[in-house]
Amino acid sequence: MPKLKIPKSSPAIDMTPMVDLAFLLVTFFMLAASFRPSEPVTVETPSSISDKVIPENMIMVTVASDGKVYFNLTGAEARKEALTNMMGLYKVSLTEEQVEKFALMSTFGCSMKELPAYLDLSGDSRKDFQTKGVPLDSLDNQLKNWISYSNVAALNSGQTAYNEAKRRGLSPEANDFKPKFIIRADGKAIYKKAEEVIDVFRELNLNNLSFVTSSEFNPNN
């Protein structure tokens, strides 16, 4: 009997399911991603060859070129706890919507009295908000209170995260969950203003400060 010749053909792969999956993943990340809030001030930090990165759990004070002081605390729950204590201390009332805005906001620079109006603005409008920054003079040192309350709030949040990591069977380091204190000063800022911020940390016995710098080439590498 003659042999049957099977016609040769190149194998074909249907890419439709893979394309559908790719679009589903792109859509998911677009909907689930949280965009970084815009910063109310632009700071040009001095350069250095340090290769350390900014930690996630931090308390950061920014000194702008005009001497205004800005404050930032990471962690929504920690921000709410610190804000609640500041509201009680300065007798300032905020709506639930304003509190939620503050929890998701990044750096801010205004007094407690100005905070309600500041929160009602959009991210871009906050850059034009007329303020002298967070007060830190001897008569009204709001920065000191922000740092103090934020430190306690960050420690509480860090302890919760540490206990959760242990519950999941991990071997966490306790120091990794403690807040880190950072100063970000513009290279053109008056040194006296940065020194005043450093003195606030010293008064609170928080001396393990780090300074934000821009990365530059390391000739030793």
Higher pLDDT among residues 210 and 201, named by residue:
201
Q: What is the pTM of this model?
A: 0.75
Residue 83 vs residues 44, 50, 55: alpha-carbon distances, Å? 28, 33, 22
CA–CA distance, 80 with 102 (Å, rounded to integer): 8
User: pLDDT class for 75, splitting at 50, 70, 90?
Assistant: very high
Count of helix runs (H) and strand runs (E) in the chain: 6, 6
pLDDT digits (tens, 9 = 90+) for 139-162: 999 999 999 999 999 999 999 999
- pLDDT grade for 21, boundaries at 50, 70 and 90: confident
pLDDT for residue 3: 58
- Among 62-66, 84-88, 92-96, 98-102, the least confident range: 62-66
Phi–psi pair at 150, nearest 5 degrees = -70, -35
Per the DSSP assignment, residues forming a β-bridge with 69 are 63
3-state secondary structure (DSSP) of residue 60: strand
Residue 10 pLDDT greater than 80, yes or no: no
Answer for the pair 154, 73: CB distance below 8 angstroms, yes or no. Answer: yes
Q: CB 25: neighbour CB atoms within 10 A?
A: 10
Band the pLDDT of 25: cuts 50, 70, 90: confident
User: Is 34's pLDDT higher than 90?
Assistant: no
Beta-carbon count within 10 A of 146 CB? 26
Find the range with the poorest average confidence among 23-27, 76-80, 102-106: 23-27
Q: How far apart are CA 60 and CA 39, in angstroms?
A: 13
Q: CA-based Rg of the chain, rounded to a whole angstrom?
A: 25
CA-wise closest residue to 106 among 159, 39, 168: 39
The predicted pLDDT at position 219 comes to 46
Please report, for the chain, the start and end positions of each structural domain, with discontinuous segments joined by +.
47-215
